[in-house]
Amino acid sequence: MALVARIAVCVGTLTTPAILLAQEDAQRCEGTVTDDKGAPLQSVTISFMNLAKNVAAQPVKTNKKGRYSHNFLASVMDPGYEIRATLEGYKMVQISAITTKSDGTRVTEDSYMVGEDQKGLHKVVLPPQGRSDVTTKGRCVVDFVLTPEGTFGEVFRRLQAEKLAKEGKAPTPTEAAPPGSPGQPAPGAPAEAGAPAAPAAKSPLETGRELLAKGDFAGAIAPLKEAIAGNPDLSEAHRFLGHALLKVDNIAEAEPEIKKALELDPTILGANFDLAMVYIKKGRLMQAIPFMEKERDGSPDSEAVLKTLGQLYSDTKQHDKAVEIFSKLVDQAPDNIEYYGFLADAYKQQGDTAKELETYQRMGAQDPSGMAFYNLGNIMFNKSEIATAADAYKKAIEMAPDNAMAHYQLGLTYVNLAKFKDAVVELETFIKLKPQDSKVGEAKTLITDLKKMGG
């Protein structure tokens, strides 16, 4: 009887916070891999090197839609991760990355042309991400373009030209060919005789706009202030300056600049979003909502606007409105598994377990990481539907064999189902995968007791 009591206490201790256990120490990064024509590439290996610790995380592969998701990364700010994609017969040609904190602040924003050296995008920071029970509120998205080896040079030049055109630039001879190609001048080499004259100086507004596009928010402030000094009624300059100040967390100066932009032009896009972000940073969430709704009026399908608005409604306990917003996002972007997580959490806050369960089931069809099935298992475990929970955990492990917590939870379900030998196997696998976890001691004790029972 003593052993049964010990097992019951062990399982009971874990039932209430089961979902939180899986999420407390892991961050997510996701994205898409396509060829240069936009077609998704399946079975591409995505690797993650933690540069701070010089340790490689477990790689993941893309699904049939070219999507991948890694849910077990460590939070790294400096110097970050080097992330690369590999597929036999292909080369990386372009990588783009965006990472944001839970308040929406951009941390990484980069688009990178990959040269012959095939170095992955490095210094992708992954800040601690505020979490619901399922998914991140902060976000890391890294997308790749790959091309067959034989077409690499041609595709590189085309995509480089397209990238520069978007930035309002013309390619130089060096930029027109992949870095590392034979005959390309070394960085810093003097210009050839007869080189064209330097272009005319840009206006302060143009300079500020270009610096913003590069993510140099601090550098953009001075030229934008100069633009305003030359024309105080330039709404665009006030809007950009407010945005730059917001990005460097100078909220006191950002707020009046954004308000001035809206005073000069109430229809200017982005200003209401930034003003809402000012109030979010101040912790005045109810005050932020009307401005985010105004931004939604101008950009009704913007995922960034809808996601932030949905989070505002969730954080202010307006769960019906949160469900409405996240339902729209799921319908609008069915391949984005993050939105299923937000929707499931909104249903949970409403107390609608049936809808929460249904959302996880829909999420499972889109999620190559298996986390949807893991969380589905946690729900069923907490409802004492142990056999159904076991099936969900097994599916999660099938999709992600190295999900240590799925093995742990499956071990507990086997204990409840009196499948003690199977429980020992799963708990030993958990210990092997995550030997430093705080639950290892508890798992070892349980294994010892199970073996005494013939498990």
What average pLDDT score do residues 424-436 get? 93
Indicate the residue type of 226.
Answer: E
What is the Cα–Cα distance from 79 to 320, expressed in whole angstroms? Answer: 41
User: What is the structure's pLDDT at 226?
Assistant: 93
| Structure token digits, residue 431 | 């210990």
What is the Cα–Cα distance from 116 to 355, expressed in whole angstroms? Answer: 49
Indicate the residue type of 328.
Answer: K
Query: Is cis: bond before 79, omega within 30 of 0?
Result: yes
Q: Are 266 and 291 in contact (CB under 8 A)?
A: no
**pLDDT tens column, 76-116:** 766 778 888 999 889 998 998 887 766 666 666 677 788 77
Mean pLDDT of the chain: 79
**pLDDT tens column, 217-272:** 899 999 999 999 999 999 999 999 999 999 999 999 999 999 999 999 998 888 99
pTM: 0.51
CA 226, 228, 232, 234 torsion: positive or negative? positive
**pLDDT tens column, 168-216:** 665 554 444 444 444 443 333 444 444 555 555 678 888 988 888 888 8
**pLDDT tens column, 47-81:** 888 777 777 777 888 888 888 888 767 777 667 78
Set out the domains of the chain in order of their start, with CATH numbers.
29-166 (2.60.40.1120)
In the block, residue with structure tokens 């665009």: 236
**In this predicted structure, which of 1-5, 12-16, 262-266 has the lowest mean pLDDT?**
12-16
